[in-house]
Structures are given as C-alpha cells and as structure tokens.
C-alpha cells in the first residue's frame, strides 16, 4: 500500500507550489474500474481480434456491422464501470491548484462521470456518434446494425480517433499549450507508446516542468522523468491529493 512517505517530498512540494498542473491519463487510470487497458488481450467473443485491427477506418469500411458490434460491446462494458478513486482524486485535484488541465487518451467518459470538467479528449469519446463522411457530431445510435447520418444518409461511426487518423486539432493544440505552460506534468496510466500523446511529457520537460509518471510498470520514458511512482493510480492519486491537506 503506497503511503505518503513513499511519495517524494520534492513532488509533493511541486504540487503544493504549482501554478499550473497538467495531467495526461491513459487506459491504466480506468483499469481499477474494470475496463481492460488498450494492450490487454480482449476477452470472450472479441478474444480473436486485436484492438489495433478493429479501431481503423479500413476495418470499418470492410465490415461496419462488425465494428459497430465491437463498439456497442465496449460501450456496454464501460457504461457498467464506475469511476475509481484515481478518477475521483483527479477531479478533486483540479479544485486544489490554481490552474489544472486534464488530457485523456481514454474514450470511456469516466473522468467526466467522476466530476472532471473541461476534459481534453485526445482520442474522442466512445459514446459520441459521428458522420463517417464528414465527422460531424450526430444524434445517438438508433440501434440498427449500422446507424445512418440524419443529414447525408451515410454511415455513422463511433466518435473515437482510429489508428492512422489525426488527433482533433483543438484537442492537440490545447494539450500542447498546456504541456508547454505547466510547471508540473503527471503522466498517469499510460504506456507512453503512442504519439503525439506520449510527446506531451517531453514538451513539458523541455519547458521547465517537473514530470512524474504513475504506473505499476515503469515505462521507457521513466528514465527521462523526474519521478516514476510504481503503483496503481487508484492508490497513489488519493495519497497525492491528501498530501495537499497536510
């Protein structure tokens, strides 16, 4: 069990003195809610597929029915999940520092359900439906095999960023600006394998921020960070939040 004594004093001091804290989260922050991380094997019906094979425009064009079935399965799984103590601590942390930016690679909406606002969704949101042709946000999924756009009649797609697709411009610009401006950057529950999200920590570091990661499995970036806290975010984040009250 991580206790306050395991968190470096310099990190606690940096959090206390921070003018602007920027947090990047990945699938690991939702792991304690029972949502499989991106690179964990899928189970049951979907065990024969790798997420990387399904989350692409090509896979959708080849078999939109299959892709909609996959995303409906994921929507149900995520809708049943509850925000965990890590999500809740992040939401509370935002109220304890002068300026706070939350960037998430997750599409599961759990940060919002935990009370976080102004969440920058780097990879979209699984509960949004968009027109496949022009990406415009559309009304909800009508439950048909492949829902259609009310404006153009073409296929709808889940509102998530697929492999090979660009990050939404506003999300990218706001995330980079926050990383460059912050004085403390926390990389939480991400393998730091996928760019440009993984580059945000470097951008923060280059601009003078202290950078720490929270991950039970220290990542390749850990050597470049000021601190790497090896543990579950649902345990460490509440302790980090508590350190502000001491």
Interface with ligand OAD (CB under 6 A): 26-28, 31-32, 37-39, 55, 105, 123, 161, 163, 189-191, 193-194, 214-217, 219, 232-234
Q: Which residue is nearest to ligand OAD (CB)?
A: 28
> Of these residues, 20, 87, 111, 123, which one is catalytic?
123
CB of 33 to ligand OAD, least distance (A): 9
Please say which residue, 112 or 233, places its beta carbon nearer to ligand OAD: 233
CB of 61 to ligand OAD, least distance (A): 17
CB of 150 to ligand OAD, least distance (A): 26
Please say which residue, 19 or 39, places its beta carbon nearer to ligand OAD: 39
Please say which residue, 19 or 50, places its beta carbon nearer to ligand OAD: 50
123 is catalytic: yes
CB of 144 to ligand OAD, least distance (A): 25
SS (H, E, C) the chain: CCCHHHCCHHHHHHHHHCCEEEEEECCHHHHCCCCCCCCCCCCHHHHHCCHHHHCCHHHHHHCHHHHHHHHHHHHHHHHHCCCCHHHHHHHHHCCCCCEEEEEECCCCCHHHHCCCCCCEECCEEEEEEEECCCCCEECCCCCCCCCECCCCCCEEEEEECCCCCCCCHHHHHHHHHHHHHCCEEEEECCCCCCCCHHHHHHHHHHCCCEEEEECCCCCHHHHHCCEEECCCHHHHHHHHHHHCCC
Please say which residue, 123 or 209, places its beta carbon nearer to ligand OAD: 123
The set of catalytic residues is: 123
């Amino acid at each position: 069990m991580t206790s306050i004594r395991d968190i470096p004093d310099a990190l606690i001091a940096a959090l206390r003195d921070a003018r602007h804290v920027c947090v990047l989260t990945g699938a690991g922050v939702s792991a304690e809610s029972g949502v499989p991380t991106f690179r964990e094997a899928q189970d049951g019906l979907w065990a024969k597929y790798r997420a990387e094979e399904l989350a692409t425009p090509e896979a959708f064009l080849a078999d939109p029915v299959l892709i909609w079935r996959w995303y409906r399965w994921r929507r149900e799984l995520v809708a049943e999940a509850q925000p965990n103590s890590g999500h809740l601590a992040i939401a509370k942390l935002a109220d304890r520092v002068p300026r706070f930016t939350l960037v998430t690679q997750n599409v599961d909406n759990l940060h919002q359900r935990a009370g976080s606002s102004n969440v920058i969704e780097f990879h979209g949101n699984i509960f949004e439906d968009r027109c496949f042709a022009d990406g415009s946000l559309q009304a909800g999924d009508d439950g048909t095999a492949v829902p259609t756009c009310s404006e153009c009649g073409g296929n709808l797609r889940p509102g998530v960023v697929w492999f090979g697709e660009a990050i939404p411009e506003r999300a990218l610009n706001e995330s980079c600006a926050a990383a460059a401006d912050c004085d403390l950057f926390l990389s939480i529950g991400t393998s730091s394998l996928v760019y440009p999200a993984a580059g945000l920590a470097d951008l923060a570091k280059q601009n003078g921020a202290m950078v720490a990661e929270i991950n039970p499995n220290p990542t390749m970036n850990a050597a470049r960070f000021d601190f790497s806290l090896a543990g579950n975010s649902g345990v460490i984040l509440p302790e980090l939040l508590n350190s502000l009250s001491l």
